[in-house]
Amino acid sequence: MKRLTIATALAVLVVPASALAAKPTPPTHPTTPAPTVSYILHGSLSAYVAPSGGANGSITIAISASNYAAKQLVHSTLTFAVSSKTKVTFKGSTIANGDRGVVKVRGPKKLTAAAAQAIVASQVTDQGAAK
């Protein structure tokens, strides 16, 4: 009887020790995407093509100034798609090459120039001829 009690006590002690020896796997957390920010680009507009039907148009801007989020894009020339949902404001009847203007784009934070060009512009504002 004493041997049975000792054997049972040892078995009870061995089970918790083996359960504690294995490390649990850490929980997995989903990665959160980069926050979306507005990129406001000021510069010289050119090569404006209006969207027609279901096809997107385009606008090219030589960036001379920007908001803080787009500071890495200053002094570069980028071409953006313009869709039928893009708000386009004209100073005259159309956007002439060399007109001053603003292009607004929304995208993930820390956007590169190549990735920025893949986004459709949300707003294009023509401010007229450069002074």
Residue 25 is predicted with a pLDDT of 81
Residue 21 has pLDDT above 80, yes or no: no
pLDDT at 8 over 90: no
What per-residue confidence (pLDDT) applies to 55?
A: 95
Q: Residues 32-61: pLDDT tens digits?
A: 888 999 999 999 999 999 999 889 999 999
State pLDDT tens for residues 10-19.
556 555 555 5
For residues 81 and 88, is the Cβ–Cβ distance under 8 A?
Answer: no
CATH architecture of 36-126: Beta Barrel (2.40)
Q: For residue range 86-123, list pLDDT tens digits in order.
A: 999 999 888 999 999 999 999 999 999 999 999 999 99
Distance from C-alpha of 120 to C-alpha of 58, rounded to nearest angstrom: 9
Q: What is the pLDDT at residue 29?
A: 81
DSSP secondary structure code for residue 69 in this structure: G
Confidence band, pLDDT 50/70/90 cuts, at residue 31? confident
Query: Is this structure's pTM higher than 0.85?
Result: no
C-alpha dihedral (92, 41, 37, 88), degrees to nearest 10: 10
Give the alpha-carbon dihedral of 111, 112, 117, 118, to 10 degrees: -70
Residue with token string 């459709």 = 120
